[in-house]
Amino acid sequence: MSDVNEFNAQTGQVVLRPYTQEELLKIQQDRGMIEEPETTPVPEDPVKLSALAKLKSMGLTDEEARAIVSL
């Protein structure tokens, strides 16, 4: 992998440096090279699922409805 080319807009200074371990790890995660640990599914409350279905039937998106019922 190539180096990082940093440019300071205030001073005009250009620095060419190698990637840090943190940056390399982030790049690998972004590219899917490192698998994230699987999360254990939490059983959902039937009352919340019912509320979710009702909110979605009223035209809310899944994301909006889940935010309201805290899922």
Residue-wise pLDDT for 4-54, tens only, equals 889 989 999 999 999 999 998 888 888 877 666 666 666 678 888 888 889
Same domain? For 3 and 24 the reply is yes
Same domain? For 10 and 25 the reply is yes
The tokens of 47 are what?
């009352």
Same domain? For 48 and 65 the reply is yes
Contacts of residue 19, Cβ cutoff 8 Å, sequence gap at least 6 = 1, 3, 4, 27
Amino acid (one-letter) located at 31: R
Task: Give the chain's domain count.
Answer: 2
Task: Give the pTM.
Answer: 0.39
Q: For residue 67, what are the domain limits? A: 39-71
